[in-house]
């Protein structure tokens, strides 16, 4: 059977535009499993390359090569869900009789919604059931894939990825799951809180193979890199022993993991780690507590010092729009960023993903402005803030990016031109959205936005 996987992206993706193009690893695992069963499989991932062509009548249309299959798997995140639904409708119209299967975090959260556009929806993880849902059309329409045994997953086959040469980072999975329970996060709601690490030797063998294949820039796709210290130190030590290092690799983790593991941090540096992404979220302890982050401002400060001692940079990922954020949120966040000497930062507007505690709380308080999932991308206001108007929050987001990434700051100057172009395009695509915010923040819910 000929099976094509499609990963819809956000139409205006800041990170892709900035050169951070990384394929979705979950789909790579599914495609690899099917490929080993003898199916002809291709992956078309909008995170790394365009897969559509423009049509005056229909807007973005899937290219003919993308439609050349007997069955299709489409992976959905919340901000790309509507785009995925449009792709499914195009498949129905242009490839009648082809099987369409949805999976991914959004499909797992709202399977009944996704089922309106598909033959089958897989909730949770798909590796255990991927053969069943594509080879047996008589299966139930909503299939619970459960949780995969990560120690048994095959090494992903990147030859199945269309336009793989455009990827600038290649994902590696050393673990799945997160035992924490932040109130805005979809992972514990959808997949539970069980942390599942791979064996050190398996991760080492995969990394060795990646290096031999010329994949020299690596992104660890773990929810929480290094939580299992022994397994992490195990594969890092093996890399050092074999003299293997990378041009550059990076990962996401938490402050206390960095602070409590100086030996691991040293090994990370020796194998090519140049940067760590940290969910800082806020410069306010009250906001961190409200998010149920279980981390302190002191943890964050110590983390930057710990990483800098090893020559590793820190990228702080901030969220603005908590109930504690007022008109001084930009000033306070930037002051914190500068005081602790964080190297770079990203800023997102808080958005409540469906079924999370944050979403349920805001919906119960009648503070959700829209359920147009295309706007749930961290660049639009989709709820009523407590201390700001929707327009004030939107403007604060734009302001903090522009004030942080300036041409006069040597550390951020190389990013400033790209961001200027991004915001110019963003404003053009969101003219109607911004017009409504200016007229009345409450009317933002009436917009379908740009996706």
Among the four given CATH numbers 3.30.750.24, 3.90.550.10, 3.80.30.20, 2.60.120.10, the one describing domain 150-446: 3.80.30.20
How many whole angstroms separate alpha carbon 187 and alpha carbon 347?
Answer: 20
Mean pLDDT of each 10-residue bin along the chain, 451 residues long:
97 85 98 98 97 84 98 98 98 97 98 98 97 88 97 98 97 97 95 96 98 97 97 98 98 97 98 98 98 98 97 97 98 96 96 97 96 96 95 97 87 82 94 84 48 41
Measured between alpha carbons, how far is 217 from 169 in angstroms, rounded to an integer? 5
> What pLDDT is stored for residue 440 in this prediction?
60
Q: What is the pTM of this model?
A: 0.95
Q: Are 114 and 121 in contact (CB under 8 A)?
A: yes
Q: Tell me what pLDDT residue 57 has.
A: 67
Residue 444: what pLDDT?
45
CB 303 within 8 A of CB 258: yes
DSSP letter assigned to residue 324: T
Contact between 346 and 317 (Cβ < 8 Å): yes
The architecture that CATH gives domain 2-144 is: 3-Layer(aba) Sandwich (3.40)
What integer pLDDT is reported at residue 451 of this predicted model? 41
Task: Give the start-to-end residue ranges of the domains of the chain.
Answer: 2-144, 150-446
252: which 2 tokens?
Answer: 């996401």
Q: In the block, which residue shows the tokens 């803030």?
A: 385
- Cβ contacts of residue 236 below 8 Å, gap of 6+? 264, 267, 268, 270, 271
DSSP for 32-64 reads HHHHHTT-EEEEEETTTS--EEEETTTEEEE-H
């Amino acid at each position: 059977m000929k099976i094509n996987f499609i990963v819809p992206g956000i139409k205006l993706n800041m990170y892709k535009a900035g050169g951070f193009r990384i394929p979705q690893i979950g789909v790579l695992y599914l495609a690899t499993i099917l490929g080993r069963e003898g199916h002809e499989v291709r992956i078309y991932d909008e995170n790394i390359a365009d897969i559509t062509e423009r049509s005056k009548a229909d807007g973005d249309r899937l290219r003919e090569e993308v439609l050349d299959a007997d069955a299709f798997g489409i992976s959905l995140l919340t901000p790309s869900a509507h785009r995925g639904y449009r792709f499914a409708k195009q498949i129905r119209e242009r490839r009648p009789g082809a099987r369409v299967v949805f999976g991914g975090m959004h499909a797992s959260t709202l399977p009944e919604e996704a089922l309106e556009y598909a033959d089958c929806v897989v909730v949770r993880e798909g590796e255990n059931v991927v053969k069943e849902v594509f080879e047996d059309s008589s299966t139930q329409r909503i299939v619970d894939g459960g949780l995969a045994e990560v120690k048994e997953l095959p090494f992903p086959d990147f030859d199945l990825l269309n336009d793989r040469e455009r990827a600038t980072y290649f994902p590696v999975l050393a673990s799945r799951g997160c035992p924490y329970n932040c109130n805005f996060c979809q992972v514990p709601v959808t997949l539970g809180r069980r942390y599942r690490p791979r064996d050190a030797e398996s991760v080492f063998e995969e990394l060795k193979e990646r290096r031999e294949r010329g994949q020299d820039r690596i992104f660890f796709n773990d929810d929480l890199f290094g939580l299992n210290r022994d397994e992490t130190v195990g594969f890092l030590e093996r890399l050092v022993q074999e003299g293997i290092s990378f041009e550059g690799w990076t990962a996401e983790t938490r402050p206390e993991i960095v602070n409590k593991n100086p030996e691991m941090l040293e090994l990370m540096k020796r194998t090519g780690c140049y940067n760590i992404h940290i969910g800082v979220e806020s410069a306010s302890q009250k906001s961190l507590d409200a998010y149920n982050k279980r981390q302190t401002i002191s943890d964050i400060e110590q983390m930057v010092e710990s990483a800098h001692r090893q020559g590793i940079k820190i990228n702080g990922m901030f969220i603005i729009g908590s109930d504690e954020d007022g008109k001084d949120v930009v000033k306070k966040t930037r002051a914190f960023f500068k005081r602790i000497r964080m190297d770079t930062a990203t800023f997102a507007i808080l958005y409540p993903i469906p079924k999370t505690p944050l979403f349920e709380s805001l919906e119960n308080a009648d503070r959700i402005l829209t359920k147009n999932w295309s706007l749930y991308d961290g660049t639009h206001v989709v709820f009523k803030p407590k201390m700001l108007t929707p327009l004030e929050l939107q403007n604060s987001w734009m302001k903090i990016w522009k004030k942080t990434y300036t041409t006069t700051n040597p550390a951020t100057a190389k990013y400033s031109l790209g961001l200027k172009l991004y915001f110019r395009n963003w404003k053009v695509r969101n003219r109607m959205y911004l017009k409504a915010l200016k007229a009345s923040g409450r009317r933002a819910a009436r917009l379908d936005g740009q996706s």
